[in-house]
Amino acid sequence: MANSIRVASAPFDGQKPGTSGLRKKVREFMQPHYLENFVQAVFDTIGGGQGKRLVLGGDGRFGNRQAIQRILRMACGNGFSEVIVGQGGILSTPAASCLIRKYGTDGGLILSASHNPGGPDEDFGIKFNSANGGPAPESITAEIHRRTMSIDGYMTVDAPDIDLDEVAESLLGEMRVTVIDSVADYAALLESLFDFDAIASMLGPGRFKMRFDAMHAVTGPYARAILEERLGAPEGTVMNGEPREDFGGGHPDPNLTHAAELVELMNGDESPAFGAASDGDGDRNMVLGRGGYINPCDSLAVLTANAHLVPGYARLSGVARSMPTSRAVDRVAEHLGIPCYETPTGWKYFGNLMDDGRITLCGEESFGTGSNHVREKDGLWAVLFWLNIIAARTQPAGAILREHWQQYGRDYFTRHDYEGIDAEVATSLMDQLTTSLPTLAGRTVGDLVVETADEFAYDDPVDGSRSEGQGVRIVFEHGRRLVFRLSGTGTSGATLRLYCESYERDPTKLELDTQRVLAPLLEAAESLAGIARLTGRVAPDVIT
């Protein structure tokens, strides 16, 4: 029997969870007591661990396995009755959400910094997901932060490591540790939603050719088990499928910049019919048709418009998108006669809407799409949704997208990321922009006329909570829009994100170059915010 031990510690500054938990450099997490303080703050915030059950796993990045062992000892010291752990310490974020919901646990700890790089000199992260399987709401994360500022010790036990590589049950003191197959329950859930027979028929040898880039991150084992083993796609369909602690030295962010190998393949002379990639922890996705990238905003709209072709989504209660996401899905929702909600960035804002039965599908421009099957965005789910639609319509992805534009019009959309900006400079830029908002309506900027300008605030229709300061919106005549916001997902400096959107209904102007179409908006953004002048950056680091 392992006896609980109290270890004295002192608070660390800056342990405030962001939109996706606490993310810091590995070396910060390696400080004595740093991880333990935060985990104890989580346990204290949820009322202690006595008799509770927890899901635990991560994306396999550097430090993942060691952190799991330390958290297991803490869970035992805090009186948890059971911890369910993914084999090898591996759990994708959507798979963790699936397990929390299926086994009715009191929540879960997910060790990931999502799409951020991994390795001893890179990033680590941890977040708490509530009993509904979704990211903890602001009320919980705020309380976790308050607790980190006063914590003076944590509970643990002195015990040997648990074998994480064998699927088995064992005891740590009086706490049961259940190591489970990381893929099985999640794969079974997806099989219940999609027409696996139709997809398998399409993916058979010599037929529809696709490639999935796992980016040496967590989805490799999931994609191989589902795409290659269950659905019969040829071996090698999954690229970079072996999870590595440093993601193979790459940046596991599925966009046109960081998934360059896949993008080059899809634009080659003998490209596959369909391509996709997922990120570090498996919750994001990028999809590409032959010779063309499908914007995440368009992807959400196409999935919504074609959901009736997918067994698990024959009827939709509603849809939701984050505020910066283009309004393409709004037009589909209006056509279908279902509600469409606009929320702040952050998946936790969709959770209340799902739990209340108001929405079925949701998505963000930042390569996240999902549904009420779990309470997280889900990369492989989105890929299977696309494959199901392609199989049902017997059309390539590009043709499906072009027909969608012909019916609904096209929202030209781009996001420009300025990474690692001095935090004070970034804050000053946003403050100046926010201060100018009352003077912008009616102003002409270049050839554009401002209709409205505001700072987005969200009133949750379920619990009545209000979230302010969620980004600056500047709307121009003729369906054009700029959005500015600071991202909370980085670990160094600040990331400024600029979003540009322009709606086009003319059927002869639906396949133009996106950056060229949006050039007037980009010029207006510089005129209004002075990004180059204030930051010294003459170009963004990433364009999506």
Q: Which residues are catalytic?
A: 114
Torsion from C-alpha of 266, 272, 273, 274, nearest 10 degrees: -60
| Whole-angstrom distance, CA of residue 143 vs CA of residue 273 | 48
522 near 154, Cβ under 8 Å? no
Rg of the chain taking only CA atoms, in angstroms: 23
| Whole-angstrom distance, CA of residue 244 vs CA of residue 216 | 6
| Whole-angstrom distance, CA of residue 439 vs CA of residue 435 | 9
69 near 58, Cβ under 8 Å? no
3-state class (DSSP) for residue 170 = strand
Q: Which two tokens stand for residue 511?
A: 């396949």
Q: Is 162 left (phi over 0), alpha (psi -120 to 50) or beta?
A: beta
Phi and psi dihedrals of 124, rounded to 5? -140, 160
416 near 484, Cβ under 8 Å? no
Contacts of 488 (CB under 8 A, 6+ apart): 18, 19, 20
The closest of 317, 320, 333 to 408, measured between CA atoms, is 333
321 near 363, Cβ under 8 Å? yes
Residue with tokens 């489970």: 180
| Whole-angstrom distance, CA of residue 52 vs CA of residue 47 | 10
| Sign of the CA dihedral with 256 first, then 262, 268, and 274 last | negative
Q: What share of the chain is helix, strand, coil (3-state, %, to 5)?
A: 35, 25, 40
137 near 351, Cβ under 8 Å? yes
57 near 243, Cβ under 8 Å? no
| Whole-angstrom distance, CA of residue 306 vs CA of residue 361 | 12
Contacts of 305 (CB under 8 A, 6+ apart): 332, 335, 336, 404, 407, 408
Instruction: Report which residue type is found at 108.
Output: G
The DSSP secondary-structure symbol of 331 reads H
